[in-house]
Amino acid sequence: MPTRIRLQRKGKKGRPYYHLVVADQRSPRDGKYIERIGAYDPNRNPALVEVDSNKALDWLQKGAQPSDTARAILSYTGVVYKNHLQNGVKKGAFDQAEADRRFEAWMSEKKNKVDAKRTNVADSASKAYKDRVAAETKKAQDMAAALTAKLAAAAAPPAAEEAAGEAAPAEGAEPGQA
């Protein structure tokens, strides 16, 4: 029975999430599967990827072929690299201790990259929020200043018109009558 490691779609329209499953390649996408080995949620930033590495590695060792997307997910989590190292141990290229050391070094580097991305996303979100608040505050201050100027202009002209009204008859009056 040819087996595939592939994604099984879940969720509602426009908000998908996926289960990473091992299934007979002849079964339908969302149909019967042999074993669920992980989850993938692309709606988060960075995407949520949970994989049972031991089960996935076991299925890869048994010959299960991952789909393109499943291979990318397994590569992201390090399962493909660990499979590669295990094959090197089987062939005698290096021993198990060296394979474990290489994998741990790779995992620590990968963890640092993911943590850096998470903090970068959080920092950019807080910066965007602060910028948005500052822009709204400036707009509110500008509107308040414009309203104050408009009210001051509306209050000042009647006094100016009265002064102008009193001065106008004096200028327009005949010289002998004043």
Residues 6+ apart with CB under 8 A from 73: 7, 20, 38, 40, 49, 51
Say yes or no to pLDDT of 165 above 80.
no
Say yes or no to pLDDT of 134 above 90.
yes
Residue 103's pLDDT is: 93
Q: Which CATH class is domain 3-68?
A: alpha beta
Residue 87's pLDDT is: 92
Predicted TM-score of the model (pTM): 0.68
Sorted by where each begins, the domain ranges of the chain are: 3-68, 94-152
Confidence of residue 109 (pLDDT cuts 50, 70, 90): very high
Residue 177's pLDDT is: 59
In terms of DSSP H, where are the helices of the chain? 53-62, 68-77, 79-91, 96-172
Say yes or no to pLDDT of 56 above 70.
yes
The token pair that represents 172 in the structure block:
């327009």
Average of pLDDT values for 40-56?
A: 91
